[in-house]
Amino acid sequence: MTSLEFTDQVQKISYSLKPVAMNLTRDADDAKDLVQETLLKAMLNKDKFKTGTNLKAWLYTIMRNTFINNYNKITKRNSNIDSTEYFQYFNTDENYITHNGATSDFVVTDINEAIANLSADYRTPFMMYYIGYKYLEIAEKLQIPIGTVKNRIHIARKELKDALKVYAPGV
């Protein structure tokens, strides 16, 4: 398709673009701008149009994408998030503030103790999972079924949760 033929076909279809633009924008001036921008993009990208495909659908797609992009630009520009109220309460929960290192030392000691108190059958798969092994890798390494690995890790978590429930706020 020559450039002249393309321009002629686009011009014929352009009259059917305005009602669609009006439906999208709900404003006459914005609709005219949208049609104009659509036609400009079509002319600049005529080399991307494949002859034999539906030109009208191609133009509608350009229009829709242009409208969506413009809408996203406008909403991003106009959205102001008032985060002052959120930051007012940020990190104010006394349960999570450590004033000295002693408290965190106690917690780490208790966690290590709870892990050490697990039986080896549960501790080994749990620690392997904790350091990054996948279930299948643990199963292969320990030569046990994958279901057993999952079950042992689940039980280890349950036992650790029970042993460390003193640190669970509100429970």
Q: pLDDT (tens digit, 9 = 90+) per residue, 46-60?
A: 999 988 899 999 999
Output the pLDDT for position 159.
Answer: 93
Per-residue pLDDT at 93: 55
Q: What share of the chain is helix, strand, coil (3-state, %, to 5)?
A: 75, 0, 25
Structural domain ending residue among the three candidates 81, 113, 141? 81
Q: Are residues 106 and 75 in the same domain?
A: no
More confident residue, 104 or 42: 42
pLDDT tens digits for 111-167? Answer: 889 999 999 999 999 999 988 889 999 999 999 999 999 999 999 999 999 888 887
Domain holding 145, by residue range, is: 102-170
Percent of the residues in the chain that have a pLDDT greater than 90, as a whole number: 52
What is the average pLDDT score of the chain? Answer: 84
Structural domain count, the chain: 2
* Any domain includes 153: yes
Give residue-wise pLDDT tens across range 80-100. Answer: 655 555 555 555 555 555 556
Pairwise CA distance, residues 155 & 148, whole Å: 10
For residue 20, what is the domain's CATH number?
A: 1.10.1740.10
pLDDT in the model for residue 2: 85
6 has a pLDDT exceeding 80: yes
The residues, any chain, with a CB within 8 Å of residue 135's CB and separated by 6 or more, are 129, 146, 149, 150, 153
Per-residue confidence (pLDDT) for residue 71, from 0 to 100: 86
Nearby residues of 23 by Cβ (< 8 Å), 6 or more positions away: none
